[in-house]
Chain A
Amino acid sequence: MTTELKKEAVGMGSEKKISLASMFHFDVKTYTMILALVSIWVIFTMTTNGDFLTSRNLSNLFRQMSITGILSIGMVFIIIAGHIDLSVGSLMGLLGGITAVLNVWLKVDGILAIGITLVLGLLIGIFNGWLIAYKKIPAFIVTLGGMLVFRGILVGMTKGTTVASLDPSIRFVGNAYLVDGVGIFLGLIAIAVLVYNALSVRKLHSQYGLAIPPMSVEIAKIAFAAVVIGLLIIILNSYQGFPVPVLILAIMAVAFSYVLTKTVFGRRVYAIGGNAEAAKLSGINVTKMTLSIFAINGLLVSIAGVLLCSRLNAASVAAGQNAEMDAIAACVIGGASLMGGVGSVGGAIVGALVMASLDNGMSMLNIETFWQFIVKGSILVLAVWVDIATKNKR
């Protein structure tokens, strides 16, 4: 099983060459976010006497962020398109619950249970999208209703109990690690692709007189990214290896960053969020696009649902509560605008890492839960304030 998955991972990595680079093609805004992230880390490192920066903790941190990260990828599509989805927390809980019920109570094979969950997630996403795009019900209302409905179904389905002890195949997805070689290989590919992509963009841009940063800046940018990738691999390998959920997050991030920045579909997502009427007049089928975006989100929520129940090795009634808020906060911290038309997958991932770091660091410090809420809420508001303040000065 482990070897099978490894092969698949390698295949994916090499197929999505250019897209891997685009994930790291952050804008200035995202660099500011990285800076904020680093300062949060420095604070936690000092307050925990260095415990925060141990490879064990960092490995856990990345595993913890993978679920919020995947949710925030789906959410960033929706936010860029000018909508919102409040139901993802409940839906993730429900879909995780379905995996668990299928596997534990109905004795469905682990892989099949995961497959059914993914299909269901996609279908529910399509249904939400249909209500919003074709029936013209505002996304806020549809998903607010969904938040209650999905939670209700979960409670009814599990009869309020915890459905525990899943098959090893399901547990693998959320808990396993890959051997060292895989991580190193992935890292090297990522760096190679970064260099290739930077050079080809420079060539194209100079051909049409578009802005190109000086070579020194480019080299510094790539060097910085290479160091980050290298450090990440070294840290993860020095604990137990590259965690499977982090690998899944990375694959999703690369794939959907590619979709958003390099494809016709992605361009249209930005267009309908920027001005839906002008987009329609330009021949874009806004209703179909909206439906597809919610379908993608449903699929990503189902992946997050599987990861969640795999990590908990159970389904519970409270699973995924408030996860939609973390995902929305991650997108906004990562520079997405709730007005639509602005945002990036890279930013959302950094935002998710900020949220996960706050959870992780404050738990290490044994800070009470109520403080954690207060701090996370304040950071969200602060992030947007800083963004607005710097924008006005420019």
Chain B
Amino acid sequence: MDDLILEMKGIIKEFSGVRALNEVSFAVKKGEIHALCGENGAGKSTLMKILSGVYPHGSYQGDIVFNQEKMMIRNIADAEKAGIAIIHQELALFKELPVYENIFIGNEISSHGRIHIPAMLSKTQELLREMRLDVNPYTLVKQLGTGQQQLVEIAKALAKNATLLILDEPTASLSEGEVEILMDILGRLKVKGVTCIYISHKLDEVLRLADTVTVIRDGRSIGSKLTRTLTKDEIVEMMVGREITDLYPKEVHITEQEVFAVKNYTVYDVSDPSRKLVDNANFSLKRGEILGFAGLVGAGRTELVSSIYGFYDGKCHGEVYLEGNLLSIHHPNDSLQQGIAMLPEDRKRHGIIEIMSVRENMTLATIEKYRLAMDRIDDCQELKDANDYMARLKIKTPGLDTCIKNLSGGNQQKVVLAKYLLRKLKVLILDEPTRGIDVGAKYEIYNLMNRLAADGIGIIMISSDLPEVLGMSDRILVMNEGRIKGEFLNHKNLDQEQIMHCAVGGATA
């Protein structure tokens, strides 16, 4: 067994009496790409936080053996010194600093306390070449795309001589092309002898990339298997503990009645008002329809819907009609009053208020409904409604007064949905509704979309997950560089290639 680089044995971790990890064992071979799969809240992140020193030695039970040595990792610096580096889902880069400073932050090359910039620059260039990243070391990180930023993070880990690289959902916000580049680089790092732990919900990537898969469910290790012996369905089954026959439970509820229309809509960049982010968009939505918006990251989809909703600081003009009436929307409240709601793309930043309870988050957009004399909140009715929706959306939470940040991503997302569903809606805009959410919660959200469409609500769904767009939409609009480039009615013959071809700017079919 001396080819193991890492062995975690009998790891137990409790949070205020709740067991997040229950005797989890996890072994990684030297030089392999090892995928760690499991639903959100299964304990993957907790396990990786123990390994990378976020939760110090002593706050958990069990042993970590790294390179044949028993480790007592007290903090992140300890882990990095041993050669373990983690790249979190939310990148930890300094946007206002240049690439080379980011790579060496906290790890500067210096002599006698003086920073040695030329050495850092040349090492950066070497690392960037290795990453096949063609940027100047002086470029500010904020000028790079998400995919390039991810590569800078990896370069940063390599600069610290990491031999074990942990990637937490690295492709969640990458476009298809960027994913390819990342996969290619991970393959080359493997040849160089860097071991990689890869956490992902995207099972296609896992099957393509990983040598071994370990599945964790409800804080227990379910098993480790060689990837080549597995199929996607088998992994899903291990993750959810039951068989999911159909990932996309599509139902058709579309009617002939138009509920919502956008005409000649143009959105300008906040910092550069001469640049159009959305150029003359026109579309309509029918009652009960699920309208998918496909396109690459940066195609202008989020800017389009958030400015329609009244949540955009830059300039925009165009006409928005609801049931044939021209609307004038200046603030999200105007939209909500009309029965239009938007589930934002960035849940943590725009969706939830982390320090508030599940109940308070849920009733935030409807709080006026509970207003009694003297502005008093009707606790009784508020609790009743929150309780109703907790049951209806199957939100898993210890209680309504639990702080929302203690919930898993999928359950947080359901709370945000509940917040808007508590209002009477005509149009629901969903911006990346299932990003970073586990298979089980995804399935529930799809079913919910079906139920809402059946109630006659028109749904706009932005998604970078093509199978999802194809699986759930009645009609698909494809955006490319701010323009609506193509429109597809969803039918059996439509495939991902056709959409992708259009999204990258190819001729419309």
User: CA A123 – CA B110 in complex, angstroms?
Assistant: 57
Shortest distance from the beta carbon of B338 to any chain A beta carbon, whole Å:
11
Within 8 A of A (CB), among B355-408: 355-356, 360, 364-365, 367-368, 370-371, 374-377, 379-380, 383-384, 387, 399-401
Chain B residues near A374: list those with CB within 8 A: none
Chain A nearest Cβ from B398, distance in angstroms: 9
Q: SS class of chain A's interface: helix, strand, loop or mixed?
A: helix
Interface residues of B toward A: which range?
A: 35 or more
Q: With contacts A211-B401, A264-B377 known, is A284 near B364, CB below 8 A? A: yes
**Which stretch of A47-55, A148-156, A175-183, A268-276 is in the interface?**
A268-276
**Does B356 contact A281, Cβ atoms closer than 8 Å?**
no
10 contacts between A and B (CB under 8 A): A209-B399, A210-B401, A270-B360, A271-B356, A277-B350, A278-B351, A279-B353, A281-B332, A281-B342, A283-B365
Known: A271-B364, A284-B364. 19 other contacts (CB 8 A): A210-B383, A210-B401, A211-B399, A259-B375, A263-B374, A263-B376, A268-B367, A275-B349, A275-B352, A278-B350, A278-B364, A279-B364, A281-B351, A282-B336, A282-B364, A282-B419, A283-B335, A285-B333, A341-B355
| Complex CA–CA separation, A216 to B105 (angstroms) | 55
How long is the Cα–Cα vector from A279 to B311 in the complex, in angstroms?
11
Query: Is A262 a contact partner of B377 (Cβ separation < 8 A)?
Result: yes
- A371 part of interface (Cβ distance < 8 Å): no
Knowing A265-B375, A274-B353, say if A394 contacts B16 (CB, 8 Å).
Answer: yes
In the complex with contacts A264-B375, A270-B356, A208-B387 CB distance below 8 A = yes
Contact of A267 among B331, B332, B355, B377 (CB under 8 A): B377
A275 to B332, CA, bound (A): 15
Q: Which residues of A contact B350 (CB under 8 A)?
A: 277-278, 281
CB-contact partner of B380 in A204, A268, A271, A342, under 8 A: A204
> Cβ of B360 and Cβ of A267 under 8 Å apart?
yes
Of all chain B residues, which has the CB nearest A265? B375
**Chain A, 336-352, CB within 8 A of any chain B CB:** 341-342
Whether A280 touches B364, Cβ cut-off 8 Å, given contacts A204-B379, A210-B399, A262-B377, is: no
What 9 A-B pairs have minimum CB-CB distances, sorted nearest first? A283-B333, A274-B353, A263-B375, A282-B365, A283-B336, A282-B364, A275-B353, A208-B383, A341-B355
Q: B interface, by DSSP: helix, strand, loop or mixed?
A: helix
A208 to B390, CA, bound (A): 11
A344 vs chain B, min Cβ distance (A): 13
Count of inter-chain pairs, beta carbons less than 8 A: 90
- Quick check: A271 and B332 within 8 Å, CB to CB? no
Contact B331 A285 (CB under 8 A): yes
Closest to B352 in A: A278
A120→B295 CA distance, assembly (Å): 56
Contacts A204-B380, A204-B383, A265-B375 given; indicate if A277 touches B349 (C-beta within 8 A). Answer: yes
Shortest CB distance A55–B (Å):
36
With the chains together, A140 CA to B367 CA distance in Å? 30
Distance between A29 CB and nearest chain B CB, rounded to angstroms: 14
B344: CB under 8 A from chain A?
yes
Q: Tell me how far the C-beta of A295 lies from the nearest C-beta in chain B, rounded to whole angstroms.
A: 15
Q: Is the C-beta of B90 less than 8 angstroms from some C-beta in chain A? A: no
Which residues in B have their C-beta under 8 angstroms from that of A342? 355
Residue of B nearest to A201 (CB): B379
- Given A263-B375, A264-B375, residue A284 in contact with residue B333 (CB < 8 A): yes
Bound form: Cα–Cα A262–B344 in Å: 28
B375:A281 contact, CB within 8 angstroms = no
Complex: chain A residue closest to B379, CB-CB: A204
The proximity string for B residues 240-256 relative to A, scoring 1 for CB distances below 8 Å and 0 otherwise, is: 00000000000000000
